[in-house]
Amino acid sequence: MLERIRIVLIGTSHPGNIGGTARAMHNMGLTDLALVAPRCEVLTADSVSRASGADHLVHGARVVETLEAAVADCTLVVGASARSRTLPWPMISPRQLGERLPAELAAPKARIALVFGREDSGLSNAELQRCHAHVHIPANPEFSSLNLATAVQVLAYECRLAWLDQQQDDDALPPMGMTETAPPASHADLERYFEHLERTLITIGFHDPATPRQLMARLRRLMMRARPDSMEVNILRGILSATEKQAEAARRREG
């Protein structure tokens, strides 16, 4: 289970925090680290020293340019967020995240990304809107910004507790049958659907990117809540294709 939980750091500026993250991950048994467009050197004396023996995770970290590339294969993407945003998103606590892990990772291909933002400014709204849910570490409202590696530690700790719980349960109970009817949709499937959706809404004149009025964010939030599986995404895209055909036929009439 733990090997299918990826820690994703976006735009990190201090190598020490990358090393500290590696140490926290290895302490808790996590192994999969991705760095999105780091704003610092990754392998430095500071990152190796803070990793304190877990520098193999820094060496092995995948460095990519976009969040997209870091989470494309993930079936659940959770963003760490301290702030409440203009458009509220499903919000879970670190403990609730841990409690949901066994079910979320039941399907063999399921994979989870925990996404952490920049030291100074966190995650952008666009990044937050690519997440199924946001996780908030309950902190002193007057001093709520945790050190990056420390925030990773808290979530990794909850992941480990959930995993230890499951080990205990597995010893006692036979595993339950799979309830999934279709494999979960990956992040990339979902993003292709959202692109298709936006294109179609523009085509039928429902959406004007010049005056977006948060339409796409609202539709994203709605569909992310539903957690469509891959068959459902196929159905939704089939509907979009059929809609586009109608719009095309209508345009030919006008043309």
**Between 70 and 184, whose beta carbon lies closer to a copy of itself?**
184
Give the nearest distance from C-beta 10 to a copy of itself in angstroms: 19
**Between 45 and 87, whose beta carbon lies closer to a copy of itself?**
87
Phi/psi of residue 229, nearest 5 degrees: -85, 180
Give the nearest distance from C-beta 69 to a copy of itself in angstroms: 27
Q: Which of 89, 73, 75 is nearest to 217 (CA)?
A: 89
Give the nearest distance from C-beta 65 to a copy of itself in angstroms: 29
Give the nearest distance from C-beta 224 to a copy of itself in angstroms: 8
With the CA atoms of 39, 116, 24 and 187 taken in that order, what torsion angle do they form, in degrees rounded to the nearest 10? -110
β 91-92/32-36 pair status: unpaired
| 3-state SS assignment for residue 239 | helix
β 32-36/62-64 pair status: parallel
Residues comprising the chain, all counted? 255
**Between 43 and 157, whose beta carbon lies closer to a copy of itself?**
157
Cα maximum dimension of the chain: 69
**Between 13 and 96, whose beta carbon lies closer to a copy of itself?**
96
Q: Which long-range contacts (CB under 8 A, 24 or more apart) does 241-247 make?
A: 243/200, 243/203, 243/204, 244/199, 244/200, 244/203, 247/200, 247/203, 247/204
**Between 172 and 178, whose beta carbon lies closer to a copy of itself?**
178
With the CA atoms of 168, 54, 56 and 110 taken in that order, what torsion angle do they form, in degrees rounded to the nearest 10? 30
Tokens found for residue 38:
């780091």
Cα–Cα distance for residue pair 207/59, rounded to 1 Å: 45
Give the nearest distance from C-beta 168 to a copy of itself in angstroms: 11
**Between 52 and 66, whose beta carbon lies closer to a copy of itself?**
52
**Between 28 and 35, whose beta carbon lies closer to a copy of itself?**
28
Give the nearest distance from C-beta 225 to a copy of itself in angstroms: 4
Give the nearest distance from C-beta 97 to a copy of itself in angstroms: 12
